[in-house]
Amino acid sequence: QVQLVESGGGSVQAGGSLRLSCAASGYTYSRDCMGWFRQAPGKEREGVGTIDSDGTTSYADSVKGGFTISEDNAKNTLYLRMNSLKPEDTAMYYCAADRGLRCWYDTPPADFGYWGQGTQVTVSS
């Protein structure tokens, strides 16, 4: 059974940093496309970025330069480092996984079959 568990969310002031983690179990993590998504209240879930099985990353324009996706295959863990956070980054953040799909930040969330429960990030001004 595939399981994704996010952690690392919290409340920070604008300009601060957080690192989210997504621990994966139940499948061969290294052969998947992994993605980070976020959803703010009243808004649709949007892609933040992805990392493909070959290490290729992609980022939404809104986070490019401030967010970095990385992974530790030995630990089956995906990370999202978020620097220079802004109030508009406030959202529930989710990790997702699947294989055999176009692995890019604008890939529709519905294309991902496996999801974590989310972790809340709140950025105050």
Q: What is the pLDDT along the chain (125 residues), one digit of tens a residue?
A: 889 999 999 999 999 999 999 999 886 666 689 999 999 999 999 999 999 999 999 999 999 999 999 999 888 999 999 999 999 999 999 999 998 899 999 999 999 999 999 999 999 99
pLDDT of residue 2: 84
> Residues 22, 39, 67, CA angle at the centre, nearest 5°?
55
Task: Give the CA-trace dihedral at 5, 21, 43, 97, to 10 degrees.
Answer: -60
pLDDT of residue 105: 97
CA distance 8 to 21: 6
pLDDT of residue 79: 97
pLDDT of residue 8: 98
